[in-house]
Amino acid sequence: MIGSVRISTNALRRNAQALRALVAPAQVAFVVKANAYGHGLVPVARTIEEYADALCVYSVEEGLFLRKAGVSVPVIVMGPVPVERLDEALAQQLQITLWDDGTYLDTVANTARRRGTPFRVHVKVDTGVRRLGLDPAQAPKAIERIARTPGIEIGGIFSHLAAAEELDSAFTLAQVATLENVVHAAKFERNPKPLRHIAASAAAMLWPQTRLDLVRIGIALYGLWPSKATRAAMPSDIQLEPALSFEGRLIAVRKIEAGSTVGYGATFRAPRPMRIGVVPFGYADGIPRALSNRGAFVVAGKRCPIVGRVCMNMTMVDLGATNARPGERVVLIGNDGEAAITADDWADWADTINYEIVARLPAELTRTYDG
């Protein structure tokens, strides 16, 4: 493949240090699910492990990959763990999530008793997102039952915020209050009082009262802001450095006449004689098809608009006044001199969020890691 995704490990470290200092004295769990938001699960985890009190993943497979790679920091699996993987999870000291106190709890407890090792769990309360979690009204009694269950150790009680990117959100404060009320109502006779956590990146930065005992930092670790409002609200001395850049090379340059069409569906018609560059990446490589006739890449230090539809593995750009030739460097995300393209640019063109842009970059893309 002519090109690669580059990750700055120094940027990751600086972001981790800055965010840890910002939320202190709360502990920090860095979120490395979804291949570390497209940045590479194991390399990112190794890079920032020393700054983390824990790492959060979605699947047990991600947790096991980290353990196989020698990552020893506590790992919290936020998604469902199949019954058949519980033995492996416990053997590798992965902490898992519970959101009911029924049959699955008994299975988890039986696994712990059979292995003679307590299973550390984080209990989720649904405070308003309506995905997973205990109903707040039943949560205190359910948590008490979980805490009394032999073989189970509650490491945390948590929830997820729905609207933390908003600068004035009564809903956010209500969610925090709901979680606090649940924790206050539950009695922990045998189990030490667990960590409370509800804040992800936006809340951890915008809402100090949401930090509680631990925050879960995802998108901000990678140098991307959770929202434009978050960025605007933060003091200027709080800086995040995007860790990811995406570069390639032109594989062909075509001269076309005025009136010629470009790409599938003939959605672009040349208004004049043009030089068209072919970039060897398309929607199979993470470039949203929505960038067709809307986005741009940087070629020879200048922004060059995408023309025609983004193809599965190729994208065409208008080389304009550049003298670019085959082999010229193309910056898809990143900068070349004063010209830059960001993940936020892609997100704006595709009418989505920067989370999706980086998380959808295929694992098969070559990734290189440097300072």
Which are the catalytic amino acids? Answer: 33, 264
Question: Is omega for the bond preceding 25 within 30 degrees of 0, making it cis?
Answer: yes
Residues 6+ apart with CB under 8 A from 60: 77, 81, 82, 85, 88, 89, 94, 96
> CA-CA distance, 297 to 306, in Å (whole number)?
7
**Residue from 121, 91, 117, 128 nearest 104 by CA:** 121
Q: How many CB atoms lie within 10 A of CB 288?
A: 19
> CA-CA distance, 308 to 318, in Å (whole number)?
10
Residues in the chain: 371
Widest pairwise Cα distance in the chain = 80
Residues 6+ apart with CB under 8 A from 231: 225
Torsion of CA 182, 185, 186, 192, to 10 degrees: 100
CB 14 within 8 A of CB 202: no
> CA-CA distance, 81 to 121, in Å (whole number)?
12
Q: What's the 3-state SS for 316-341?
A: EEECCCCCCCCCCEEEEEEEECCEEE
Q: How many CB atoms lie within 10 A of CB 327?
A: 10
Q: How big is the CA angle at 345 (ends 341 and 346), to the nearest 5 degrees?
A: 100
**Hunting for tokens 């929830």 — which residue is that?**
159
**Residue from 75, 194, 65, 66 nearest 124 by CA:** 194
Q: How many CB atoms lie within 10 A of CB 166?
A: 17
